[in-house]
Amino acid sequence: MKIVVLKFGGTSVGTISRIKKVSKIILSFKKKKYKVIVVTSAMSGMTNNLIKKSLKISKSFDPIEYDVLVSSGEQISCALISGQLKSLGHKSRSFLGWQVPIITDNNHTNAKIDFVNVRNIKKILSKGIIPIVAGFQGITKNGEVSTLGRGASDYTAITLAKYFNAEKCVIFTDVDGVMTTDPRNYKKAKKIKTISYEEMLEMSSLGSKVMQSNSVQEARLNRTDVLVKSSFKESEGTLITKRKKIKNHKIITGISSTKNDAKITLVGVKDKPGVAAAIFKPLSKNNINVDMVVQNISADKKETDVTFTIKNENTIKTVNLIKNNKEFKYDKILIDKNVSKLSIIGVGMITTPGVTYRMFQALSKNKINILVISTSEIKISVLIKQSNLKKGIEALHKEFNLDN
């Protein structure tokens, strides 16, 4: 049995005419002899609206009721798709999370899927009926409705692909696929045809918003091929797959960037064991995500400077936590609120020497100063002034031949 999971995002099911379009896509897969499992998001804007309603009641709205509330968007869209297919004379049935059932842990608003019972859907598939599953939701062992975190209908789709051994999971969205860089920053951005899980993970966590990064990680663990493509126009999309399947690697696959970062430097920190832990402990306790960290080597070994980056919106909170921290001493605190992280990503850099040099050279030719550097096996990130971001993206896009 050739199974495919098709997931439709919020804009793809945003209106009734789009739901009609989606039904045609579903039927085109049925024609190709696939057993189709559909996973749907809520109509665009719906989940946000429901969340707003909960906030009008309380900033700490009860999580169990929150999940009942916000999961209702998907209930509407799965019924509409199934209803449309039936009105065209096809067999279909909507499934809410509890009807599958998709069993999750008790972590309301951000639950993880523990288990999917495949029996009901298998039965339906064998009768030629198309199941339309509400994404983003499940049920706890206590029988309460749960949700899986924002954007998590991707997670539902990837998980169903795993449990049903699907040939692939197709994510239909409002963009053509994964781009070499955000087209809003650089018009010559090109669609990436194939990308490895590892690269996609880096791209998502470094700023590319096409797919929820947890879901990419799930796909990687299960070795599920994921095709991301537009539901609005016929185009090939981007295949996210194993490295081995990718031929003709470019050295660099994509360029990501962040906005709204802030850089904090603590000058003259007393250099002794435990200082770094003392600085970062209160930040972590307050859920402030620290990204890049560098510590200078001090010549006299008595004092050092520590620089790190955080999201701009956390600046005041962070500075207060540092000023009130009695566990360490420093001379001065410097704050720069207008920085961006610019990253190049590519498995090709593992086997190609000189990539770091080419990146730095290209930036320097464009008079872009590098403030902080960090690297991993398949990415190099630099922190630069936000005002240099577009120029930097263009320079690197050209340097690594991504324009064509």
CA 123/CA 168 separation, integer angstroms: 20
Burial degree of 43 (CB within 10 A; 0-12, 13-18, 19+): buried
**x/- site string to Mg ion, residues 5 to 44, per CB under 5 A?**
----xx------------------------------x---
Dihedrals phi, psi of 136, to nearest 5 degrees: 75, -5
- The interaxial angle of helices 389-399 and 355-365, nearest 10 deg, is 130
User: Which partner, Mg ion, ligand ASP, none, binds residue 207 by CB below 5 to 8 Å per kind?
Assistant: none
User: Which partner, ligand ASP, Mg ion, none, binds residue 254 by CB below 5 to 8 Å per kind?
Assistant: none
Closest CB 10 distance from ligand ASP, rounded Å: 5
CA 130/CA 367 separation, integer angstroms: 57
Residue 231 lies near ligand ASP (rule: CB under 6 A) = no
CA 297/CA 303 separation, integer angstroms: 9
| Piece in contact with Mg ion (CB under 5 A), picked from 2-10, 17-25, 226-234, 293-301 | 2-10
Q: Out of 8, 34, 66, 136, point to the residue binding ligand ASP (CB under 6 A).
A: 136
| Piece in contact with ligand ASP (CB under 6 A), picked from 146-154, 179-187, 221-229, 260-268 | 146-154
Residue 171 lies near ligand ASP (rule: CB under 6 A) = no
List beta partners, residue 159: none
Instruction: Please check whether residue 265 is in contact with residue 295, taking contact to mean a CB–CB distance below 8 angstroms.
Output: no
| Piece in contact with ligand ASP (CB under 6 A), picked from 148-156, 264-272, 285-293, 347-355 | 148-156
User: Which partner, ligand ASP, Mg ion, none, binds residue 150 by CB below 5 to 8 Å per kind?
Assistant: ligand ASP
Burial degree of 250 (CB within 10 A; 0-12, 13-18, 19+): middle
- What is the separation of C-alpha 70 from the centre of its chain, rounded to a whole number of angstroms? 20
Q: How many CB atoms within 10 Å of residue 339?
A: 24
Closest CB 55 distance from Mg ion, rounded Å: 19
CA 157/CA 60 separation, integer angstroms: 29
**x/- site string to ligand ASP, residues 54 to 73, per CB under 6 A?**
-------------------x
User: Alpha carbon of 161 to those of 2, 154, 301: distances in Å?
Assistant: 12, 11, 55
- What is the separation of C-alpha 316 from the centre of its chain, rounded to a whole number of angstroms? 27
Residue 135 lies near ligand ASP (rule: CB under 6 A) = yes
**x/- site string to Mg ion, residues 149 to 188, per CB under 5 A?**
--x-------------------------------------
In one-letter notation, the amino acid at residue 210 is V
Q: 73 to 102, contacts with ligand ASP by CB under 6 A?
A: 73
Closest CB 43 distance from ligand ASP, rounded Å: 9
Residue 152 lies near ligand ASP (rule: CB under 6 A) = yes
Q: Out of 23, 82, 146, 153, point to the residue binding ligand ASP (CB under 6 A).
A: 153
In one-letter notation, the amino acid at residue 320 is N
The residue (of 119 and 209) whose beta carbon lies closer to ligand ASP is 209
**Residues contributing to the site for ligand ASP (CB under 6 A):** 10, 41-42, 47, 73, 135-136, 150-153
